[in-house]
Chains A and B, each alone.
Chain A
């Protein structure tokens, strides 16, 4: 790798930092792993909906919490019990604990959060606080 020494000559640590960055990128732990669960966000004037695919997760194992404008989704996907002496042919699915936070575009009205799970797809609808909604300002004729 080539490290240009002429840039930022006033900063003696610039070279070191740039080398460290390259190490970070090369180390296997730094590979950006896709986060679980993948979410889709739907937006409207008065509400936001978040849908997530959580196949194989029991609705009882999901925790949803909303604090101001951050929604946190956490839980566990339990590994299936495999009888003894079984032989794995394929193992593509993942299991374990997960946690994910989503920042909402507004402060959530805590009593207007509704979550529903159908066929492994979770859907959370979050309403907006009444006093937080944009108000139309009328222009008075002079």
Chain B
């Protein structure tokens, strides 16, 4: 975490079957941090509004999908493109000690933050050893 010039990691297409419309599906860049209470995922999904995010957790597989509404300024033609537009999709296999009802999701400025708290019974319990 330095103050270097920010780099653009190229948008990489997701490893999913191709779409019928020929639209690309991209893999959102993700930061994952684990703390004692759980795991936080931060996914970059520019152009995705909060209501267009779809998150499912099924059999330990956490799938995140984001729909992008194509941005076409009125009366203008695309003259030069450095990035492509397309939906986002990525899946992670999680360890199974998360409480699916307590997963929190929040979108701000095109970044989705997912907080997965550990299930209460999975929290490590410290066992104190008493001297006899």
Residues on A lying within 8 angstroms of B by beta carbon are 33-44, 47-49, 51, 53-59, 77, 79-80, 82-83, 85-99, 117-121, 123, 125
A contact residues around B129 at 8 Å (CB): none
Residues on B lying within 8 angstroms of A by beta carbon are 1-11, 29-36, 39, 42, 44-49, 71-73, 75-83, 107, 109-111
Contact at B9–A82, with CB atoms within 8 Å? Answer: no
Q: What's the Cα separation between A56 and B73 when bound, in Å?
A: 22
**Closest-CB distance, A98 to chain B (whole angstroms):** 5
Instruction: Tell me whether A43 and B76 are in contact in the complex, defined as CB-CB below 8 angstroms, given that A56-B109, A96-B2, A119-B47 are known contacts.
Output: yes
Q: What's the Cα separation between A41 and B11 when bound, in Å?
A: 18
Closest to B75 in A: A44
Task: List 5 other contacts, CB 8 Å, given A40-B78, A86-B34.
Answer: A38-B11, A38-B82, A51-B71, A88-B34, A90-B32
Q: What's the Cα separation between A92 and B26 when bound, in Å?
A: 14
Closest 5 CB pairs of A and B: A120-B110, A55-B110, A42-B76, A89-B32, A43-B79
Q: What's the Cα separation between A35 and B7 when bound, in Å?
A: 6
Instruction: Tell me whether A42 and B1 are in contact in the complex, defined as CB-CB below 8 angstroms, given that A89-B33, A92-B31, A95-B6 are known contacts.
Output: no
Contact at B111–A55, with CB atoms within 8 Å? Answer: yes
**Closest-CB distance, B76 to chain A (whole angstroms):** 4
Contact at B78–A42, with CB atoms within 8 Å? Answer: yes
Instruction: Tell me whether A56 and B1 are in contact in the complex, defined as CB-CB below 8 angstroms, given that A38-B8, A38-B83, A89-B32 are known contacts.
Output: no
Closest to A91 in B: B31
Contact at A41–B8, with CB atoms within 8 Å? Answer: no
Instruction: Tell me whether A34 and B35 are in contact in the complex, defined as CB-CB below 8 angstroms, given that A40-B80, A49-B76, A58-B109 are known contacts.
Output: no
A contact residues around B75 at 8 Å (CB): 44, 47
B contact residues around A118 at 8 Å (CB): 47, 49
A contact residues around B72 at 8 Å (CB): 42
Contact at B83–A125, with CB atoms within 8 Å? Answer: no
**Closest-CB distance, A105 to chain B (whole angstroms):** 9
Contact at A119–B1, with CB atoms within 8 Å? Answer: no
A contact residues around B107 at 8 Å (CB): 119
A–B pairs, 28, beta carbons within 8 Å: A34-B10, A37-B8, A38-B83, A39-B83, A40-B78, A40-B81, A41-B80, A42-B77, A44-B73, A54-B110, A55-B44, A55-B45, A57-B109, A59-B109, A82-B33, A86-B35, A87-B33, A87-B34, A87-B35, A88-B32, A89-B32, A89-B34, A90-B31, A91-B31, A92-B9, A94-B6, A96-B3, A97-B6
